[in-house]
Structure 1
Amino acid sequence: MSEHRLTQKQNALMIDPRRTRVLNSCSDKPGAVIYWMSRDQRLNHNWALLFAREKAARKGQPLVVVFALAPSFLDAPFRHYDFMLKGLEETSKALERINIPFMLLEGEPDTEISRYACQSEAGAVVTDFSPLNISRNWKKKAADILDIPLYEVDAHNIVPCWYASDKQEYAARTLRPKLQARLDEFLVPFPTILPLPAPHVHHRSPDWKQVRERLQKDRSVPPVNRIAPGETAAAESLENFIKSRLSGYATARNDPNSNALSQLSPYLHFGQISAQHVALRVAESRAPQKDKTAFLEELIIRRELSDNFCNYNPSYDRFEGIPAWAKQTLLLHGQDKREYLYTIDVFEKAATHDKLWNAAQSELVQSGKIHGYMRMYWAKKILEWSSSPPEAFEMAIYLNDRYALDGRDPNGYAGVAWSIGGLHDRPWFERPVYGNIRYMNASGCRRKFDVERYISRFREPATLFPNA
């Protein structure tokens, strides 16, 4: 990791222009700057918010942060909205303490943002980057409607996704050198966001209780109360990981019983913590270098590889998006005899013959996450026990998105595509059902960790909704 750093003064005066782009051909006008907060839901360490604040200060105009609450986001149930809204409530209060009003709009984001910008006679709109199709479609529609510029800032990746590569990368080994060559330039500390003058913008703070009560969401998937949402909880989780679990991470991370993982994935998904800030804190810690290197490989290379996949492959959430060699081998073995065949209902209820798989599904439903090693096993067995590879892919995406707090995320889509569809992998020895896709079995898990101990932690039959 490079020791190169920009000074606070230099950084405060400059947001790297390679991190920003304009999504339409309009020019700035007089009027407030709107930060359309979407993927990066935090006050601190947020390049998009810093860019918007800098623009407002230079124009001598107010800055308003606006979040558009979509009536549906890829069928997310109440669990996900609850976690997100509690985090946004904390962020809104933190923003208002530094004289930046926060507004919550309810409705289709492209429509609501465009309407608000017009009504408030705004001069520019700034938003954050997401490679997901739904977000890109919202921005395209808004950019077409607005008569002011819509700036997009990659506040999620350390090296901006579109700058790191202009194509879908084959594997980590092809993206890694491109990212490492740019870390000196982009992995820099953040300036502190400074207060603005008291705004002359009429706004009404959201009634968060009423917002949650109005949500018409599937409440059969309840909140995960053991994980506190929000920027403060995310920061505490990071410091706890660095202090207690980062040392030893390289050897313990593949043991689901070790409690070695950072537990940051929900916070990274909802943008309640910055991956760049996490990388800087880990890099400057006193943990052994091998542990820091193992963690940063996942945080930077693997995570940004997932954004690259979704950014350049619009079929990222479908079987059609996997590599051609994988499609060919899976379809060739599509009619192979399966020892077990299960429906989505059996999978969802963790009612298969395999106690280890059932424990992984129970962990997902109960805690809103699966240990990374077990998520690979979980997905590969869905392939093995489904009537066809396309059906397996669809069911794995459905279950992950429905229950995982970090669902609907490039990491999740890339993870399923790797496990089932050979993404970012290579052909392996051919076998029934899997073809040349990498194989996993329970015996391999037993060589890695104490399987019975893991099963005992999520033993079925158990209530799948202990927090209901």
Structure 2
Amino acid sequence: MNRKSRDIERRSRLLVDGRRGAGPVVYWLSRDQRVHDNWALLCAQQEALIRGRGLVVVFCLVTDYPGGEQRSYHFLLAGLAELARQLAELGIGFVLLRGDPALALPPWLHRIDACTLIGDFDPLRLKRQWQRRLLAEIGIPFIEVDAHNVIPAWIASNKREYSAATFRPKYRRLIDDYLTDIPAVIRHPHPGPAASPPLETDRLLGEVTGRRAGPVNWLVPGETAGKAAVETALNDRLPGYASRRNDPCGNGQSNLSPYLHFGQISAQRLAWRVSGAPLAEEDRQAFLEELLVRRELADNFCLHESDYDRFAGFPAWARQSLDEHRGDRRPYCYSLAELENGGSHEALWNACQRDLVATGKLHGYLRMYWAKKILEWTSEPEEALHIAITLNDRYSLDGRDANGYTGIAWSIGGVHDRAWPRRLIFGKVRFMNEKGCRRKFAVDDYITAVNLNHRRDRF
């Protein structure tokens, strides 16, 4: 077995066997929306080449996805339009289906007499439900590939990890073997189904139900733009990352999380580039810790904890401590609508919310503070969790993601954290406030910058 086949095989697993049809190999693309550096597409092409079949990529557009807004659909559809063009240049078909994949895919697969189905790994509940229902309806082999993580989530750990401290040693034992260069997809030599017409992205965007958050204009979607953003990060943003990453005024974030969320860039390719870049070692290690260990720990949490977005998913010590403080008096208590409109008494929190609404992105350090204040200003932790997830999924370009659910669970429920000295409302969950932020960065400068940008974006 050559290296390429070995790398594909160990990132893949056969979930169900069956009778192969006489038609093309199908890649059901979902989480990893790119042509290049995509192990799932490479797996599908290898299967098609071995069997002398055509190759087609299919995407199922669900226009009422929970938390989905015009903002996220615009980013998704623009990326898919570019992906379809790139696939056509490689002799690979692309088909867009509408609706629930478990309902839309089976009749289409039957109609084309599909040979084999390849699908993306995703730890989120709705995606896994789609997959289970789909597997019950199809009679062909289904292969799942984790092209989102560098180490497949089911290999990195077979259980829910308590913290980064327990996950990191397991991860580091494997990473050198998995962090490799990625082979290129080739022009496919076997014809497949007739090409679909170009995507009418404006018309499709009109079908989306979410209307609260419109597209942003500071970030260009798609694989090509994502690769350009990687170059900008390597040259301009990652030097000094270790010292600047917690300063929202310091231009120290990579701005790559939307591209990673939509799978328009590969985390493995990014890590490969960072590993070989002329960066200070402290900057390289700080960034790789976030990109690899912390990001893949989030997938571990959502894969092994079915209640990743519920109070029941918090560790026992945090649930007990929060329960003990349910009756604590809240000096301030806000509704979802008040918080969504940036209507708290605290200028920094309001600026964070306006920043999120206007740009679709909130600095990582501030997102922790933002979520913890929601816990402090709501009647119970369940309500805080609901509001934080609702606002993050609704407005953030990288919302509806394992990283988001895990980050909010860390902020509100102590997931992957330890118990801290007891406080009112928070119990033993880590506390953050504006005073602590002022020790980290120039809070007033951030508030001023957000207010100016917010007014310009709206007027």
Structure 2 regions of 5+ residues with no counterpart? none
> Is the aligned partner of 1:204 residue 2:218?
no
Q: 1:241 offset after TM fit, Å?
A: 0.7
Over the matched positions of the two proteins, sequence identity in percent amounts to 46
Once the two structures are superposed, what CA deviation does each residue of 1:282-316 show, in whole Å capped at 9, x if it has no partner? Answer: 00000101100000000000000000000011111
Q: Which residue of 2 is the match for residue 4 of structure 1?
A: none
* Alpha carbons 1:396, 1:416 under 8 Å: kept: yes
Mapped to 2, the partners of 1:44 and 1:344 lie a distance apart of 41
Q: Which residue of 1 is the match for residue 251 of structure 2?
A: 259
- Mark the CA change 1:114 to 1:275 in structure 2 (over 3 Å): closer, same or farther: same
Once the two structures are superposed, what CA deviation does each residue of 1:403-442 show, in whole Å capped at 9, x if it has no partner? Answer: 0000000000000000000000000000100000001111
* Alpha carbons 2:81, 2:199 under 8 Å: kept: no
Once the two structures are superposed, what CA deviation does each residue of 1:45-66 show, in whole Å capped at 9, x if it has no partner? Answer: 0000000000000100000000
* Alpha carbons 1:428, 1:438 under 8 Å: kept: yes
Q: 1:116 offset after TM fit, Å?
A: 1.1
| Structure 1 segment 156-235 matched on structure 2, within 5 A | 156-197=148-189, 199-209=191-201, 211-235=203-227
> Is the aligned partner of 1:308 residue 2:308?
no
Mapped to 2, the partners of 1:209 and 1:437 lie a distance apart of 44
Q: What amino acid is the match of 2:172?
A: Q
Q: What amino acid is the match of 1:30?
A: A
Q: What amino acid is the match of 1:105?
A: L
Q: Which residue of 2 is the match for residue 155 of structure 1?
A: 147
Which shows bigger deviation, 312-321 or 123-132? 312-321
Q: 1:18 offset after TM fit, Å?
A: 2.4
* Alpha carbons 2:8, 2:43 under 8 Å: kept: no
Which shows bigger deviation, 213-222 or 240-249? 213-222
* Alpha carbons 1:327, 1:421 under 8 Å: kept: yes
Q: 1:129 offset after TM fit, Å?
A: 0.5
Choose which of 413, 418, 424 in structure 2 pairs with 1:426.
Answer: 418
Q: Which residue of 1 is the match for residue 77 of structure 2?
A: 85
* Alpha carbons 2:70, 2:205 under 8 Å: kept: no
Tell me the C-alpha RMSD between the 2 structures.
Answer: 1.6
* Alpha carbons 2:358, 2:454 under 8 Å: kept: no
Q: Which residue of 2 is the match for residue 362 of structure 1?
A: 354
Mapped to 2, the partners of 1:75 and 1:157 lie a distance apart of 23
Q: 3-state DSSP class of the match of 1:286?
A: coil
| Structure 1 segment 256-335 matched on structure 2, within 5 A | 256-335=248-327
Choose which of 31, 43, 60 in structure 2 pairs with 1:51.
Answer: 43
- Mark the CA change 1:214 to 1:455 in structure 2 (over 3 Å): closer, same or farther: closer
> Is the aligned partner of 1:345 residue 2:337?
yes
Q: Which residue of 2 is the match for residue 105 of structure 1?
A: 97
Q: What amino acid is the match of 1:20?
A: S
Q: 3-state DSSP class of the match of 1:66?
A: strand
Once the two structures are superposed, what CA deviation does each residue of 1:4-43 show, in whole Å capped at 9, x if it has no partner? Answer: xxxxx94444434221112223243432100000000000
TM-score of the two chains, using structure 2 as the length reference: 0.97
Q: Which residue of 2 is the match for residue 435 of structure 1?
A: 427
TM-score of the two chains, using structure 1 as the length reference: 0.95
* Alpha carbons 2:56, 2:192 under 8 Å: kept: no
* Alpha carbons 1:102, 1:205 under 8 Å: kept: no
Choose which of 11, 21, 29 in structure 2 pairs with 1:37.
Answer: 29
Q: 1:331 offset after TM fit, Å?
A: 1.2
Q: 1:214 offset after TM fit, Å?
A: 4.2
* Alpha carbons 2:21, 2:115 under 8 Å: kept: yes
Q: 1:197 offset after TM fit, Å?
A: 1.8
* Alpha carbons 2:60, 2:97 under 8 Å: kept: yes
Q: 1:245 offset after TM fit, Å?
A: 1.7
* Alpha carbons 2:73, 2:205 under 8 Å: kept: no
Which shows bigger deviation, 299-308 or 181-190? 181-190
- Mark the CA change 1:151 to 1:349 in structure 2 (over 3 Å): closer, same or farther: same
Mapped to 2, the partners of 1:361 and 1:353 lie a distance apart of 13
Once the two structures are superposed, what CA deviation does each residue of 1:177-212 show, in whole Å capped at 9, x if it has no partner? Answer: 111111122111101111012524224224324542
> Is the aligned partner of 1:448 residue 2:459?
no
Q: 1:213 offset after TM fit, Å?
A: 4.7
Q: 1:466 offset after TM fit, Å?
A: 2.8
> Is the aligned partner of 1:64 residue 2:56?
yes
Q: 3-state DSSP class of the match of 1:229?
A: coil
Q: 3-state DSSP class of the match of 1:308?
A: helix
Give the aligned length.
459
Mapped to 1, the partners of 2:456 and 2:214 lie a distance apart of 10
* Alpha carbons 1:221, 1:465 under 8 Å: kept: no
Q: Which residue of 2 is the match for residue 6 of structure 1?
A: none
- Mark the CA change 1:423 to 1:34 in structure 2 (over 3 Å): closer, same or farther: same
Mapped to 2, the partners of 1:46 and 1:331 lie a distance apart of 44
* Alpha carbons 1:124, 1:150 under 8 Å: kept: yes
Mapped to 2, the partners of 1:11 and 1:70 lie a distance apart of 37
Q: 3-state DSSP class of the match of 1:21?
A: strand
Q: Which residue of 1 is the match for residue 10 of structure 2?
A: 18
- Mark the CA change 1:461 to 1:453 in structure 2 (over 3 Å): closer, same or farther: closer
Which shows bigger deviation, 454-463 or 27-36? 454-463
Structure 1 regions of 5+ residues with no counterpart? 1-8
